[in-house]
Amino acid sequence: MSFATARDVLDAYAEGCRRLDRDLLARCFHPRAVMAGDLDGKLLVGGPEPFLDDVAGIAAAGIDHAGFAAQVIELTVNGRVAAGAVHSTGFAGRFAFLDRFHLIEDESGWLITSKSFTTL
């Protein structure tokens, strides 16, 4: 699946989080994407794999995720680069996040190149 617009990627990211769909989320990220942020007081830096594995683990554990909600709250596109933000609540039944993204459009479509995040 390729994404025609930067908004499509952020919407797919939010939907992947809502559905706890590791595969959909993985398709949102560029193969060389990086992530950094504060997860409830613990600083993390690396790629998206630990996040994707956590999503799969939450889904496998059957953790209540019914109260999850996410919304794209910012998006600025300048040619083939973009910056955006997604605010979410109820992740894994207890976390709220502010996720900020950088995106690019390459020959395959739009993808997330970096994500910075913090729990709220």
Tens of pLDDT, residue by residue over 79-93, are 999 999 999 999 999
How are the residues of the chain apportioned to helix, strand and coil, as percentages rounded to the nearest 5?
30, 50, 20
Which of the four pLDDT bands, split at 50, 70 and 90, describes residue 1?
confident
Which of the four pLDDT bands, split at 50, 70 and 90, describes residue 75?
very high
Tens of pLDDT, residue by residue over 49-70, are 999 999 999 999 999 899 999 9
Which SS3 state, helix, strand or coil, does residue 115 take? strand
Tens of pLDDT, residue by residue over 13-46, are 999 999 999 999 999 999 999 999 999 999 999 9
Across-strand partners of 106? 109
Query: What single DSSP character describes residue 53?
Result: H
Residue pair 38/100 in contact by the 8 Å Cβ criterion: no
The predicted pLDDT at position 61 comes to: 96
The predicted pLDDT at position 5 comes to: 98
Average per-residue pLDDT for the chain: 97
User: What CA–CA distances, in Å, run from 11 to 4, 5, 71, 91?
Assistant: 12, 10, 8, 16
Could you tell me the pTM of the whole model?
0.97
